[in-house]
Amino acid sequence: MLVLGIDTSCDETAAAVLSDGRSVLSSVVASQDIHAAYGGVVPEYASRAHMTAIVPVVRQALERAGVGWQDLGAVAVTNRPGLVGCLLVGVSFAKAVSFSLGIPIVGVDHIEGHVFSLRLASPDLALPAVCLVASGGHTELVLVEKWGAYRTLGRTRDDAAGEAFDKVGKLLGLPYPAGPVIERLAAGGDASAFRFPRAMMEHGNPDFSFSGVKTAVRLKVNELGGVPQGEQLADLLASFQEAVVDVLVQKTVRAAERHSVPTVSIGGGVAANETLRVRLAEEAARAGLEAVFPPKALCTDNGAVIAAVGDSLLGRGVRDDLSLSASASRSGPSVAS
Ligand code: KG4
Ligand code: ZN
């Protein structure tokens, strides 16, 4: 069966066509550059941009897959969590597709989508696995017992990891999203030049906190008399990146050890970070764990993982109808489209 997956939860308009829950026939992602100057996503601008992009993005996904509307067997759409005005664009469009083609619609949890990058990367992987989901809005350690059965082992108490990258970027005058920019500027920097705090590292604590490291960077910038340049900026960013990566890696490996889980994986935009991948691979190997790294294009927001969750839900008999609504949180009040 071909499933059209749609994600408009934040600032990417994404659509993909997935065949039989495994083969990504196409995946189109239109990133909104309108937010770059604001240091973060402006929700109203984002939902307007989704409205402009949704039709061409879905059309392109069908074209690249070499299929027509009539070939689609179902439509899966992110309906939680995210910016409600943004989610509603995708949900409304998916409903129109479902109604006009007479095919099932299923609403998908965005975080589960990030976890499913693991399934697309390694369809035959034996579970359980511990998956670190680190994005702009979420940082969670998820125990994947089986597909569809999850336990949240820990989560951030304040900022998400990606949010820390974006806020530090804003502080330094870098464009949004700052994660990839910081990674590039940090390359060649000395990660031990500055010592930034690693929060909540006491043994057995699975939760995260990234607001302290952001504040520590701000204090360091003040102490340096302003935003550093050149080598010193590279050192500052490498040291900041190291502090965030250190916490993410250690907590992921410890969680797998504590729950006697043999496999670790990562998903979400921050999982595109090469330092994080290298460090997690090293620490996992040291602990005798297998580490699975989905391709970066499946880690950042995309429609393929949403289609994969949708395919799995439909396979288990779960489906929605045209009353499907959107919700800013995972289980909070929803808004009808
Ligand atoms: O999963 P995602 O595409 O969207 C959300 O669900 O939030 O994640 C976007 C986040 C942003 O905060 C961005 O700065 C961060 O992921 N990010 C990175 C990298 N690429 C994206 N952070 C660190 N290093 C990267 N290479
Ligand atoms: Zn995401």
Ligand 2 centroid vs 112 CA: distance in angstroms? 10
Pocket lining: 270 vs ligand 1, CB cutoff 6 Å: yes
Pocket lining: 117 vs ligand 1, CB cutoff 6 Å: no
- Based on the domain organization, do 250 and 107 belong to the same domain? no
Pocket lining: 244 vs ligand 1, CB cutoff 6 Å: no
Ligand 2 centroid vs 250 CA: distance in angstroms? 22
Q: Going by CA atoms, what residue is nearest to atom 13 of ligand 1?
A: 179
Ligand 2 centroid vs 77 CA: distance in angstroms? 13
User: pLDDT by residue (tens digit) across 146-158?
Assistant: 999 999 999 999 9
pLDDT at 203 over 90: no
- Based on the domain organization, do 277 and 332 belong to the same domain? no
Ligand 1 centroid vs 96 CA: distance in angstroms? 30
Ligand nearest to the CA of 177: 1
pLDDT band (50, 70, 90) for residue 337: confident
Q: Which atom number of ligand 1 is nearest to the Cα of residue 161?
A: 12
The rounded percent of the chain whose pLDDT value lies above 90 is: 93
pLDDT at position 39 is 79
pLDDT at 123 over 90: yes
Pocket lining: 32 vs ligand 1, CB cutoff 6 Å: no
Around Cβ 225, how many Cβ atoms within 10 Å?
7
- Based on the domain organization, do 274 and 142 belong to the same domain? yes
What is the Cα–Cα distance from 197 to 210, expressed in whole angstroms? 9
Among 108, 109, 110, 165, which residue has the most ligand 1 atoms within 8 Å of its CB, making it the best to mutate?
165
User: pLDDT by residue (tens digit) across 128-186?
Assistant: 999 999 999 999 999 999 999 999 999 999 999 999 999 999 999 999 999 999 999 99
Does residue 273 lie in a domain region? yes
Ligand 1 centroid vs 277 CA: distance in angstroms? 14
- Based on the domain organization, do 142 and 289 belong to the same domain? yes
Interacting residues of 279 by C-beta distance below 8 A, sequence separation 6+? 245, 246, 249
Q: Which of 38-52, 68-82, 196-210 has the highest mean pLDDT?
A: 68-82
Tell me the average pLDDT across 289-300.
Answer: 97
Does residue 118 lie in a domain region? no
Quote the tokens at residue 151.
Answer: 């336990």
Give the predicted TM-score (pTM) of the model.
Answer: 0.95
What is the Cα–Cα distance from 219 to 243, expressed in whole angstroms? 15
What is the Cα–Cα distance from 153 to 123, expressed in whole angstroms? 23
pLDDT at 333 over 80: no
Ligand nearest to the CA of 11: 1
Cβ(130)–Cβ(256) below 8 Å: yes
Number of domains in the chain: 2
Pocket lining: 165 vs ligand 1, CB cutoff 6 Å: yes
- Based on the domain organization, do 264 and 148 belong to the same domain? yes
Domain with residue 190: its CATH number is 3.30.420.40
- Based on the domain organization, do 201 and 139 belong to the same domain? yes
User: 278: domain range?
Assistant: 126-297
Quote the tokens at residue 217.
Answer: 């960077």
Does residue 119 lie in a domain region? no
pLDDT at position 163 is 96
Output the furthest CA–CA distance in the chain (Å, rounded). Answer: 63
Pocket lining: 133 vs ligand 1, CB cutoff 6 Å: no
- Based on the domain organization, do 291 and 162 belong to the same domain? yes
What is the Cα–Cα distance from 117 to 295, expressed in whole angstroms? 8
User: pLDDT by residue (tens digit) across 260-279?
Assistant: 999 999 999 999 999 999 99
pLDDT at 125 over 90: yes
